[in-house]
Amino acid sequence: MRDVTSMLPLKLQDIALEVDGRRLLEVTATSIRNKRRTVVLGPNGAGKTLFLKVCHGLLKPSSGRLDFVAGKSDAEVRRRQAMVFQKPVMLRRSVRGNFTHALAMAGFGWRERRRLADETMAHFGLSALADRPARVLSGGEQQRLAIARAASLNPELLFLDEPTSALDPTAARQVEEMLELLRAHGMTLVMTTHDLGLARRFADDILFFHNGRLLEQGPADTFFTRPQTAEAQAFLENRLVW
């Protein structure tokens, strides 16, 4: 019997990440809630990427607790989440090969892999690129491939690190449409972005980081209309000095 109950919320308590004695990340308490769209905001170097990697389990925090709903094995937790990196990792294979590889690693059989890959590519309008080498795609195409590849694994929780950075307006739109599809599909999304317009349109919840610390969190409307901290206010008015 497959366990279909959610592993969310993900609760973080007193998380700290230190490298070479430098404290890079500090999160007193927060949680990632089921079926919500969380947007992580903050200036360059604020610790957004580190936060995502800690949540995704790529970086082990130096101290603190990070808990999914009890009773899920580590493998289960790993299988149910995916991440799209700020700089997408493109395997030296065809676009289809990138899909089938990820699916193979997730344990899908040979035939199943191809079917899912073709389905996902069709779903996200990538079919025309299927046989192209992934590494010669344009930045926007690579970004879309990375998102679709993560989506093909059908994760419950998906992290996206600046999925629209360095994209032209059309490509950014396409990515936003993809995100909309994923949300409609019921995925829990955690995304960083520097595009405040996108954040306003997209976010249910906001996490605001500054200098490695989670300064402010709450519903998006509240954050955008009545930011609590001086840093958040300055950030929203584009005059934050760090």
Partner 1 sequence: MLQDVSIISALWKIISGGDGDFYSIILLSLEVTLTAVTLAGCVGLPLGAMLALTRFRGRLPIIVVINTLMGFPPVVAGLVVFLLLSRSGPLGGLGLLFTPQAMMTAQFILVLPIIVALTRQTVEDLWSEYADHMTSLGVGRIGSIPTLLWDARFSLVTTMLAGLGRASAEVGAILIVGGNIAGYTRTMTTSIALETSKGDLPLAMALGVVLITITLCINGLAYGVSRIGAKLAGGR
58: contact with ligand ATP by CB under 6 A: no
Among Mg ion, ligand ATP, partner 1, none, what binds residue 42 when CB lies within 5 to 8 Å by partner kind?
Answer: ligand ATP
44: contact with ligand ATP by CB under 6 A: yes
42: contact with ligand ATP by CB under 6 A: yes
Contacts of 153 (CB under 8 A, 6+ apart): 79, 82, 102, 103, 106
* Rounded-to-integer distance, Cα 176 and Cα 127, Å: 19
Q: What is the DSSP string of 154-204?
A: --SEEEEESTTTT--HHHHHHHHHHHHHHHHTT-EEEEE-S-HHHHHHH-S
Which residues, numbered 102-121, are part of the site for partner 1 (CB under 8 A)? 102, 105-106
Shortest separation between residue 133's beta carbon and ligand ATP, angstroms? 27
Residue selected from 41, 46, 82, 175 as contacting ligand ATP according to rule CB under 6 A: 46
**3-state SS class at 11:** strand
- Contact code string over 67-106 relative to ligand ATP, x by CB under 6 A: -------------------x--------------------
Which residues, numbered 133-192, are part of the site for partner 1 (CB under 8 A)? 133-136, 153
**3-state SS class at 230:** helix
Interface with Mg ion by CB under 5 A: which range of 82-90, 124-132, 174-182, 227-235?
A: 82-90
* Rounded-to-integer distance, Cα 5 and Cα 222, Å: 30
Query: Rounded to 5 degrees, what angle do the CA atoms 162, 98, 1 make?
Result: 90
Residues that bind ligand ATP (CB under 6 A): 19, 24, 42, 44-50, 86
